[in-house]
Every structure is written in C-alpha cells, then in structure tokens.
Amino acid sequence: MPSSITDNSPTPTIREEKPVGDDLESGGTSKLTSSLEPPDGGLDAWLTILGTSMVSFATFGIVNGYGAFNDYYETTYLSNYSATLISLIGAIQAPCLTRLVRDFLLLYTLLGVLHAYVGPRYIIPASGVISAFALFMLSITKPQQIYQQYLTQAILFSLGATFSFFPSFAVCAHWFKRRIAFAMGFPAAAASLGGVLYPIMLERLIPRIGFGWTIRVLAFVVLLCFIIATFTIKVRRPAKPLPRLSQLLAFRAFRDPIYLCLCLGGWFSVTSTFNPFFYVSVYGSDANGGPSFLTPYYLSIMTATAILGRIAPGFIADRVGKFNVIAVSTTLSGVLILALWYTSSAQPNLIAFAAIYGVVSGPFFAVLSRSELASEWLSSSSALAGTPIGGVFISNETLPNFRHLILFSGVIALVGSGFFWVARFIRSRKLFEAILNSGLG
C-alpha cells in the first residue's frame, strides 16, 4: 500500500549526476537547474506526475484489483484451495510494494546502486519488462496449481514492480514541496483507477477469450504504461547517501509517543483496510444467493470512488492539516464497516457501502508522507496478515462467518483510528488547528 508516496523530505532518494548542464538519466532532456528547490509546477513536473501515475496504474492498480482475481480463483481456477491460501496471493503483493520487503530483503541497497550508476531511464523499462513477463507467465499457469500463482503473481510480478514503484514516487519530490499532497493524489488515484478497470476487464474478457489471453491483455497494458513512464519521468537533483539498516529500523524512535502511536495506528488500520476490497464481491454473492449482475462491480465501485478519496484529501490536507484528514477518514472507515456493511446484505446497501468506503479509505494512502508514517515497514507487515486472517473467518463462506470478518475489520479500524487521534492531540490539543506534519522531522 503506498503510504510513503508523499515524500516531503528536503533531499530525494535517487542518486544522479551532479555537474550542471549534463543530461540526466531521466528519460528526458531536463537539466539540473542551479536551484534545487522544487518548482511546485511546470510542464516537466506534471509530466513526471503523469509517468508516476502510469507506474502506479500498472503496479498497485493490479494489487487494488486483486479482489476480482480472488473471486475468480475461489469459484473456478483454484477452487480446490482454501480462501486463506488464495487471499495470501494478493496479501503478499501489498507488502512487496511497501518497505517491508524493500528494507528487509535489502532491496533498498540494490535500488540505490542501480539508480546511482544506471539511472531511471533504464531501470523503469526493465521493471516494466519484468512485470509484463510475470503476467505472461501467469497466463500459462494451470488450474488448481496454486504454487504457480504464488511464483508468478505474488512474487515475480511484485518484485518486478518494486524496482519502478519506489523510484518513480521519490522523483516527484524533486518537483513538488508545498503542493506535494495534492500532486501525489494523482498517482494514488491512478492505482484506484486500475482497481476499477482491471476487475471489469477480467469479468468481461475471461468468458470470451479465456483466462490466459485475458492476462496477456493485461500484460500489454502494463507494457504500454511503462513505455509512457519511461519518457515522462524526469529527475532534477541528487540524493543523500543510502542509510544504514540500523537507521532504517530506528528502534529508538519508539520512545517518541507520536511515533509509537503512528506505528500502532498504521498497523491496525492497514490490517483492516484491504478486507473490504478483497471480500466485498464474495460477500455480495454469497449473501444474496449466488452471483448477480452487480457482483463484479462492487469492487469497481469501491475503487472508482477511491479516486476521489485520494485526490481531494491531498488538496484539503494542504489547508486543514494531514493529521486532521487521516484521523477523521480512518474513524469513518471503521464506523462505515460496522454501520453499513455489518448490518445489511441487500444489494443497494452494498453498493452504498462500496461507494462511500472507497472515498473514506483513500486518504490513508494519499496524504501521509514517509516521515509521518515512519512505521511503514511495520504497517506493511499487517497488510500481509490482514486478508489471510479474514480468509480464516470465512473458511465456510456462511453469512455468520462473514459477519465475524466484518466485525473484526470494523473494530480493528477503529482501534487504529484511536491511535491516530492520540498522536494528533499529542501534537496539538486544539481541535480545529491545522496539523500539517507530525513534528518528527
């Protein structure tokens, strides 16, 4: 889950050549300007946002749309396996696109070296080739052979996407500072757009051309997105040295109550956040006597409204404060799960839940910067745990079991929001004060 995408740190995380006037390995012809202060706009700045959005659409968009894969796997392609094993395929992808895998497999070191000596001009297309290759391999997997999905979709695709996902988002901090939350809402929204379109593509294409060719179509879409990103993402300033692993873990920071509350709030919130995305379609089908015309569209509706939930909060957060936005949105997420999803299985209510939840869950991924959610590696571990735990609840896919899953998700979401509120009031006890940052640096 991309909670680190709004990097407000004064120095970016990509190493480039320093001499003024030299062409940069940026996929374009931009020059290193005499001033390294982000311009907060301009053609190159918005082209970089466009390229980053393409990367986000091609990578995290597929993660956001995994609920459609999950539904198809459970009912048809991997029907011999438990819901927990199937959901774990998607659960592995989310941490792979966060710092859990990047840091603890030391991918941050490899990424830093590659970008220092090769540059994004070559890294981004190489990442696209690996990601597309993983999808082509997924297209030739056999039914009821779940290890093949783990190798291709959960591992190879996710690791391939990692090599472009983090650098492309980091480059955006070269171009934006004051308007960073608003600008980064667009790549976050692109991930939601992928979550809208990919499930519809699967639902419409699989009955017509089969699973294999449908996945090949997705692979060609991913390639096209990476081609656009290659020629639009531009780098304009050098980076600080790579941190030591001890600096990344920062265990001493847990002495700071704000940091500790952010860690706990992020962990509990991420544990619950993905469960509606993974299970709302399966729940809608089982609770209403089987699949209907609306079944594949619950997820699409949720991710479509998440586009608004990831753009608008960035604009609002630049004015009323990020802490206020994230505390309110996480609270609303928990309340909505318990008040609307838990209490009714009627299709109109599920549509309303999907539409509203997409909006209120979006700010968590859009407005918090890396310095404000320094616990990202800890939060991403909960992404690995949350949906498999949900799968355990619905092993029999009965309505009471789904209610247990929903109750678990809602309560955990409210616990997470409680820690965010505590962190917010430690920072300032004035209820209506705009808290633009956590004060962690």
- pLDDT reported for residue 84: 80
- pLDDT reported for residue 383: 64
- pLDDT reported for residue 95: 57
Q: Give the chain's domain count.
A: 1
CATH number of the CATH domain containing 282: 1.20.1250.20
- pLDDT reported for residue 144: 92
Q: Specify the pTM.
A: 0.67
Q: What is the CA radius of gyration of the chain?
A: 21
- pLDDT reported for residue 159: 83
Pair 373, 257: CB distance under 8 Å = no
**In terms of C-beta distances under 8 Å and separation of at least 24 residues, what long-range contacts does 35-38 make, across chains too?**
36/236, 36/237, 37/177, 38/173, 38/174, 38/175, 38/176, 38/177, 38/180
Looking at the DSSP assignment, which residues form a beta bridge with residue 435?
321
Low-confidence ranges of the chain (pLDDT < 50): 1-34, 99-106, 108, 370-375, 440-441
Pair 367, 181: CB distance under 8 Å = yes
* Any domain includes 439: no
* Any domain includes 441: no
* Any domain includes 67: yes
* Any domain includes 383: yes
Pair 261, 131: CB distance under 8 Å = no
Query: Which residue range forms the structural domain that includes residue 297?
Result: 43-427
* Any domain includes 33: no
* Any domain includes 99: yes
- pLDDT reported for residue 380: 58
Pair 277, 67: CB distance under 8 Å = yes
* Any domain includes 51: yes
* Any domain includes 13: no
